[in-house]
């Protein structure tokens, strides 16, 4: 008994030390390294759009605000503050969202030591959230809405999925869970939430001075920018290859400027076809694996799998969107450790590395050598394509763990 107690104490101390190390790393990477400064970040687009609403004007007078108007409407209270104060409030709120998502997922997994270590590891070492906090993007909020959608019972989860859809479109795929679960009340909650949170802000915009929508909507079809890591973006980069001198096409470099992006009819058709083909194949795989039916216990796995599929299929998937993969990676690691399947665990870790840390490290290294993207087409093709492929592997891996 004494030996057993000693081993138990040693394991508990090791667990505490590991979680503490992850917490310290999270604090360094996601707080200390990206403390808000008075300088501008991507958050300014949301802030300026909210300021327009505060002054009775359309949020789309901010040319770079190209999203549904819900987020700008929600940020109106912050528009009353100066930019730096508003940035700090958003920074703290974003941390609350991401840590709440971790807590909810940990509680759903059973609060055991495996769940504790896995979630501490993913949230602490995931790295990509650092860019979300640094740029002021709403990825932590979306991650929270995704987790609520995947772990909540009843209509609440589907209402959360609808809210995510109204912030940015990617969480819309979670609405597919309702018919698979035969949860018609949940489906109604999804449509009601998405419909109201889309309609009400747009009704507000209709009463304001200025345009009802962004001036240019070519970005809805995707971008060949090297910072967009999705199958449609890969297809657009293939369609617009570098020249014989190896120089990268201009849209590869400046395609992040979505309001001014212009795509040809051929580019639009190729990107949309790639997105629809990816989504259709993935949904078909999920349908056949589950025989068209899901139980409530399978919703977290299926939901995070659909998010991985949506990120691979999205016409635009900026590098920092991979923060939304945290729940899926955590579930895959948790399942592998519970099953003592070390081969699957190693495969899951490799998949997680290719989702963000490896391509981000390589691309940053080459970029900072000359402070521009290298004129090395093979290298750029490979490292801007591995993330959507890893997303598809994550999707397939999660689906494979669902018992029919």
Reported as a single tens digit per residue, the pLDDT across 124-170 is 999 999 999 999 999 999 999 999 999 998 899 999 999 999 999 99
Please give the share of the chain, as a percent, with pLDDT higher than 90: 89
Question: 216 pLDDT exceeds 90?
Answer: no
Residues 247 and 289 in one domain: yes
CA–CA distance, 318 with 301 (Å, rounded to integer): 23
- Give Cβ neighbours of residue 138 (< 8 Å, ≥ 6 apart): 46, 71, 94, 167, 168
The structure's pTM equals 0.95
Structure tokens at 110: 């059973």
- Average pLDDT for 231-239: 97
Give the count of domains, the chain. Answer: 2
Query: Are 221 and 156 part of one and the same domain?
Result: no
Residues 191 and 288 in one domain: no
Q: What is the pLDDT of residues 292-321, one digit of tens each?
A: 999 999 999 999 999 999 999 999 999 999
Q: Which of 148, 181, 213 is the last residue of a domain?
A: 213
- What's the pLDDT at 370? 83
Same domain, 344 and 363: yes
Please say which residue of 213, 247, 275 terminates a domain.
213
Euclidean distance between CA atoms 279 and 397, whole angstroms = 16
Tokens for 8? Answer: 């138990």
Q: Which of 187, 213, 239 is the last residue of a domain?
A: 213
How far apart, in whole angstroms, are the C-alpha atoms of residue 79 and residue 101?
26
- Evaluate if residue 1 carries a pLDDT over 60: no
Q: Domain check: are 88 and 207 in the same one?
A: yes
Query: In this model, does residue 3 exceed pLDDT 60?
Result: no
For residue range 180-195, what is the model confidence (pLDDT) as tens digits? 999 999 999 999 999 9
Report the SS3 class of residue 272.
helix
**Domain that residue 82 falls in:** 30-213
Res 215: pLDDT: 85
What mean pLDDT is reported for the chain?
95
CA angle, 255 then 260 then 261, to 5°: 45
Please tell me whether residues 221 and 114 are part of one structural domain: no
Give the angle subtended at the CA of 192 by the CAs of 285 and 166, to the nearest 5°: 70
- Is 171 found in the same domain as 85? yes
Nearest 10 degrees: CA dihedral of 202, 91, 323, 235? 60
CA distance 59 to 50: 6
User: How many other β-carbons are positioned within 10 Å of the β-carbon of residue 391?
Assistant: 31
Distance between CA atoms of 201 and 70, rounded to whole angstroms? 5
CA distance 224 to 235: 8
pLDDT of residue 58 exceeding 80? yes
For residues 181 and 313, state if they share a domain. no
Give 228's strand partners.
318
Answer yes or no: do 227 and 336 share one domain. yes
* Same domain as 156, residue 38: yes
The helix or strand, by DSSP H or E, that contains position 130, with its residue range, turns out to be helix 128-135
Alpha helices in 207-264 (DSSP H): 231-239, 250-254
* C-alpha count within 13 angstroms, C-beta hemisphere, residue 210: 19
Please indicate, yes or no, whether residues 249 and 349 belong to a single structural domain of this protein.
yes
Looking at the fold, whether 180 and 88 belong to one and the same domain comes out as yes
Task: Tell me the average pLDDT across 1-24.
Answer: 83
Cross-strand pairs, 57: 209
Residue 4, pLDDT above cutoff 50: yes
């Amino acid at each position: 008994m004494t030996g057993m107690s000693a081993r138990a104490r040693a394991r508990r101390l090791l667990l505490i030390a590991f979680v503490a190390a992850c917490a310290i790393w999270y604090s360094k990477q996601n707080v200390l390294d990206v403390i808000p400064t008075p300088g501008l970040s991507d958050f300014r687009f949301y802030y300026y759009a909210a300021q327009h609403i505060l002054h009775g004007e359309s949020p789309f007078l901010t040319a770079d605000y190209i999203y549904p108007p819900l987020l700008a409407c929600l940020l109106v209270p912050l528009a009353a503050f100066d930019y730096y104060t508003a940035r700090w409030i958003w920074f703290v709120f974003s941390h609350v969202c991401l840590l709440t998502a971790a807590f909810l997922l940990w509680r759903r997994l059973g609060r055991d030591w495996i769940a504790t270590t896995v979630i501490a590891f993913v949230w602490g070492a995931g790295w990509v959230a650092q860019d979300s906090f640094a740029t002021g993007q709403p990825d932590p909020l979306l991650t929270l809405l995704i987790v609520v959608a995947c772990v909540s019972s009843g209509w609440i989860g589907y209402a959360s999925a609808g809210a995510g859809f109204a912030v940015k479109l990617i969480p819309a795929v979670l609405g597919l869970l309702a018919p698979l679960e035969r949860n018609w009340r949940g489906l109604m909650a999804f449509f009601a939430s998405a419909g109201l949170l889309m309609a009400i802000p747009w009704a507000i915009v209709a009463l304001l001075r200025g345009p009802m929508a962004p001036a240019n909507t070519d970005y809805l079809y995707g971008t060949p920018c090297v910072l967009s890591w999705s199958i449609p973006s890969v297809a657009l980069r293939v369609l617009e290859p570098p020249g014989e001198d190896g120089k990268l096409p201009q849209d590869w470099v400046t395609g992040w400027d979505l309001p001014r992006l212009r795509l040809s009819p051929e580019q639009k058709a190729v990107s949309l076809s790639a997105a629809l083909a990816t989504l259709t194949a993935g949904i078909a795989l999920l349908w056949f694996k589950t025989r068209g039916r899901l139980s409530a216990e399978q919703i977290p796995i299926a939901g995070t799998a659909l998010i991985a599929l949506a990120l691979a299929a999205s016409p635009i998937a900026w590098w920092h969107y991979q923060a939304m993969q945290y729940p899926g990676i955590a579930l895959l690691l948790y399942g592998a450790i519970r099953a003592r399947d070390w081969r699957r665990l190693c495969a899951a870790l490799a998949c997680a590395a290719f989702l963000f840390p490896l391509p981000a490290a390589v691309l940053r290294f080459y970029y900072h050598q000359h402070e521009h993207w290298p004129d090395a087409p093979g290298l750029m093709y490979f490292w801007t394509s591995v993330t959507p492929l890893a997303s598809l592997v994550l999707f397939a891996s999660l689906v494979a763990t669902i018992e029919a």
